[in-house]
Amino acid sequence: MKRSVVLFLFLFSIFCLTHKIACVDTLTTSWFIKDGETIISAGGTFELGFFSPSKSSNRYVGIWYKKISIQTVVWVANREAPLLNTYGVLEVIKPGLLVLRTDTKNIIWSSNSSMPV
């Protein structure tokens, strides 16, 4: 398994879902996150969501420090395949397989590959 995926899975395992009013510690195939929504780790240290680097309109899924005022990204999922708009969805399609889909439902990144799908 690629080191970035291992890091992601480790950090993701400590996240507590703060999606709408629910707080869940288990991800299932019925859960997803859309651009504009985030997940914050149980201790409030990390946040996972969509972001654009400064001076770019491309969108990425990443993990950054929540409590630092200047966004400091520590991991990026789709570094090689940025989204071109804000209609991306990050979802679990089967246990253990996290995917990033475009607005046309195409998978551009998955947790079992470091290359675009």
pLDDT value of position 103: 93
Number of domains in the chain: 1
More confidently predicted of 29 and 82: 82
Residue 103 is assigned to a structural domain of this protein: yes
Look at 10-14, 29-33, 57-61, 85-89 and tell me which has the smallest mean pLDDT.
10-14
CATH number at residue 82: 2.90.10
- Total-model pTM: 0.74
Instruction: Summarize the confidence of residues 38-62 as an average pLDDT.
Output: 90
H helix count then E strand count, the chain: 1, 9
Residue 115 is assigned to a structural domain of this protein: no
- Does residue 104 have a pLDDT over 70? yes
More confidently predicted of 29 and 23: 29
Residue 97 is assigned to a structural domain of this protein: yes
Residue 117 is assigned to a structural domain of this protein: no
**Residue 13 domain boundaries:** 3-110
| CB-based contacts of 78, cutoff 8 Å, min separation 6 | 60, 61, 100, 108, 109, 116
